[in-house]
Amino acid sequence: MTRRAFDETAQNLQASILEHCARFFEERGLPFDKAAYEAQSSYRLDDVTRELLFFGAEIFPDSMQIASSDRITIAA
């Protein structure tokens, strides 16, 4: 996967996670302040999304491909 395609996928995943969180709280009648979360979070969501892609889906940008017989390379 090209670096650009990887970054777009990570950004889309991050947006999806935030949308899901907002919907989760809304369905329970609880407030969710995205700006406050982003300003005060103890970790970076972009790091989490990259780790989900790396370790959960084994998706890496071309520049980071690691040789493995069981790893699938996705062409963008």
**Looking at per-residue confidence, does 64 or 51 come out higher?**
51
In angstroms, rounded to a whole number, what is the distance separating the alpha carbons of residues 56 and 51? 7
Residue pLDDT, tens place only, 34-62: 999 989 988 889 899 999 999 999 999 98
Taking the model in full, what pTM does it have? Answer: 0.74
> Which residues have a Cβ under 8 Å from the Cβ of 67 and sit 6 or more positions away?
none
Beta carbons of 60 and 6 less than 8 angstroms apart: yes
Residue 69 CA, chain-centre distance (Å), reads 25
